[in-house]
Amino acid sequence: MTVLTGPPRTFSVSEVAVDSGVAPSAVRFYDTHGVINAVRTAGNQRRFDSSAACRIQVAKLAQRAGLSVREIAALFADLSADPTPDEWADVARRLVTEVEERVRDLKAQLAAMESGTRLCEIGRDDPAR
């Protein structure tokens, strides 16, 4: 069911900027690159739903964890306006899967370094010295 709720509030670029903690120019950038989605007023101004600031907050943290804006936009692509917790859960699952894989790969390489077994130096074949 859908709870009765007034006409959904919209947000201007600078409102989303404040709510998400990035510069207005960055909000426009994320719109251009599909991280958030704007509708336009009759006068061509962007209006965002309330999920825009949330998306940007997640996107910034995902970037810090190694994902590109393009990758993040792709992950957000099947998120509706004002996404449900379920939709977020689905995005979260894929996002976490991806970053954990990257961390796993890094850890595995580091473990090889620590083991001192020269696993990474396969190329350096010593026998001929």
Partner DNA sequence: GTGCAGGTTCAACATATGTTGAAGTCAAGT
Partner DNA sequence: ACTTGACTTCAACATATGTTGAACCTGCAC
Residues lying near DNA in the complex (CB under 7 A) are found at 12-15, 22-26, 28-29, 33, 38, 41-46, 63, 68-70
Among 9, 27, 36, 40, binds a second copy (CB under 8 A): 9
Nearest CB to a second copy, comparing residues 6 and 43: 6
Residue 127 contacts a second copy per CB under 8 A: no
Nearest CB to DNA, comparing residues 33 and 90: 33
CA dist., res. 105 & res. 88, Å (int): 26
Report, in Å, the least distance between residue 65 CB and a second copy.
Answer: 5
Give the binding range for a second copy (CB under 8 A) out of 25-33, 37-45, 77-85: 77-85
Instruction: Identify residues 27-66 at the interface with a second copy (CB under 8 A).
Output: 50, 53-54, 57-58, 61-66
| Nearest to 95, CA basis, from 45, 57, 53, 121 | 57
Answer for the pair 29, 22: CB distance below 8 angstroms, yes or no: no
Nearest CB to a second copy, comparing residues 22 and 43: 22
Answer for the pair 54, 36: CB distance below 8 angstroms, yes or no: no
List the beta bridge partners of residue 40. Answer: 46
Residues that bind a second copy (CB under 8 A): 6, 9, 11, 15, 18-19, 50, 53-54, 57-58, 61-66, 83-85, 88-89, 91-92, 95-96, 99-100, 102-103, 105-107, 109-111, 113-116, 120-124, 129
